[in-house]
Amino acid sequence: MARDATLRLYDVDKDSVVLTREEGRESYAIGKITFSAKKGKLVDLDKLHESIWATRLSGRTQMRLNWLEVTAVGEAAAAEGNVVLKVAGSKEYFLLAEDPEAKPEGAAKPPLARLKDALDRGEKVVQVTGRVDGWSGHFPKFLAELPPKPRRLLVKDFQTAKQ
């Protein structure tokens, strides 16, 4: 049902939507939906939330959204003590935050710290991948209201412009 809700979005490339399933520890399956925006389009997270809500999934299904991971293209910059990613081609932006569950290996810095270092060196950060904070929970509780804005993106990885 969530896959179908994703397919209904006008800005999603229908050929990119893939549902993979694996057996969980409980009696129900764990699924992962991956998809991409159509060329030249942006996936509207408000519309994605609305489309999943329209499935009218009840609490008896045991369905939940574990996380929403996005790769956003734009330009990162420091602003008023925060780091933001302005999404290319829109007025949308993400506040970038450290993922509390991220565990860097050895003495490596967490992804957000590395991103800030790159900005301090004058590098142009043009793409950030991470989990959207607040996009998790059991249906229908998660679907009851849209997660708040501004959206926080818990940084997992980033790319800088080729120089």
**pLDDT band at residue 6 using 50, 70 and 90 as cut-offs:** low
pLDDT value for 93: 94
d(CA 90, CA 76) in angstroms, rounded, equals 14
pLDDT value for 56: 63
pLDDT value for 2: 62
Mean pLDDT of the 1-14 span = 67
What is the DSSP secondary-structure string of 141-162? TGGGSPPPSSEEEEEEEEEE--
| Tens of pLDDT, residues 10-66 | 677 788 878 787 765 555 567 778 888 888 888 888 888 887 777 765 556 667 788
Q: Which residues contact 117 (CB under 8 A, 6 or more apart)?
A: 109
pLDDT value for 120: 94
CATH number assigned to the domain with residue range 67-163, chosen from the 4 options 3.30.1490, 2.60.40, 2.40.50, 1.10.405: 2.40.50
Mean pLDDT of the 1-6 span = 61
d(CA 107, CA 74) in angstroms, rounded, equals 29
Domain ranges of the chain: 1-56, 67-163
Query: 134 — alpha (psi -120 to 50), left (phi > 0) or beta?
Result: left
Mean pLDDT of the 129-158 span = 87
pLDDT value for 106: 74
| Tens of pLDDT, residues 112-131 | 999 999 999 999 999 999 99
pLDDT value for 44: 84
| Tens of pLDDT, residues 64-109 | 788 888 999 999 998 888 999 999 989 999 999 998 887 777 768 8
